Amino acid sequence: MAGDSLPSGAAARRYARALLEAAAAADALAAVADDLETLGRALAEAGAGAWLADPRVPDADKQRVLDRVGAGAHELTRGLLRVLVRRRRHQVLLDLPRAFRDLLDAHQGRLRGVVESARALPDQERARLEQAFAARTGREVVLESRVDPDLLGGIRVTLGGTRYDGSARGRLERLRARLAQAELGRR
């Protein structure tokens, strides 16, 4: 197949798009999304992704493991796993869960982002932020919480390629920049 020379990320998006379209037509988006989330977790385990991408491991062994991982998976998911192993596109499997999630988010009008704080953010605070950004963007917003002690205090949200910085460190850096501009203006 001509497209098989694509880098794995581009190929993963292509396969993910085909899977999304087939799952939507079969009214199986939720089931397939759950399958790929499970696959992503399994491949993230220590060494699993490297083992799967290793050309020295026989395809039959890879297929047996993927059959076990996908035992309860939807027929569409199992079919794609078999196709990828048959075509020796094991590397694509590493990027497939993320590519599918990104396409599904776009299909469902959902934005994903990250909220960073100096300390662990309570779930209800994260939920309030998601609601506030949803009202602002008109789309469902899902934020992943991360702790970054360097922020000192406050929060920083990255959503849809835009950073909203309400952290103490960010405010100090903006103050420093204004002071530097004031110094340059006096000279």
Report the distance separating Cα 142 and Cα 109, nearest Å.
Answer: 11
Confidence at residue 157, expressed as pLDDT on a 0 to 100 scale: 92
Paired residues of 116 in beta bridges: 146, 156
CB atoms within 10 A of CB 12: 24
Query: Percent of the chain at pLDDT above 70?
Result: 93
Residue 5 pLDDT > 60: no
Report the distance separating Cα 182 and Cα 174, nearest Å.
Answer: 12
pLDDT, average across residues 95-100: 93
For domain 2-107, give its CATH number from 3.10.450.50, 3.40.630.40, 2.20.25.90, 1.10.520.20.
Answer: 1.10.520.20
pLDDT in tens, 49-70: 788 878 888 888 888 888 887 7
Dihedrals phi, psi of 57, to nearest 5 degrees: -80, 125
pLDDT, average across residues 5-31: 89
Amino acid identity, residue 125? Answer: E
Confidence at residue 186, expressed as pLDDT on a 0 to 100 scale: 67
User: Do 20 and 103 touch, CB atoms closer than 8 A?
Assistant: yes
Do the bridges between strand 140-147 and strand 155-159 make them parallel or antiparallel, or are there none, so unpaired? unpaired
Confidence at residue 1, expressed as pLDDT on a 0 to 100 scale: 41
Do the bridges between strand 155-159 and strand 110-117 make them parallel or antiparallel, or are there none, so unpaired? antiparallel
- What is the domain partition of the chain in residue ranges? 2-107, 110-186
Residue 185 pLDDT > 80: no
DSSP label at residue 34: H
pLDDT in tens, 112-168: 999 999 899 999 999 999 999 999 999 999 999 999 988 888 899 999 888 888 887
Confidence at residue 75, expressed as pLDDT on a 0 to 100 scale: 94
Q: What is the mean pLDDT of the chain?
A: 87
State how far the alpha carbon of 133 is from the alpha carbons of 50, 76, 129, 130, 183, in Å.
38, 34, 6, 5, 36
Confidence at residue 18, expressed as pLDDT on a 0 to 100 scale: 96
User: Do 43 and 8 touch, CB atoms closer than 8 A?
Assistant: no
Residue 172 pLDDT > 90: no
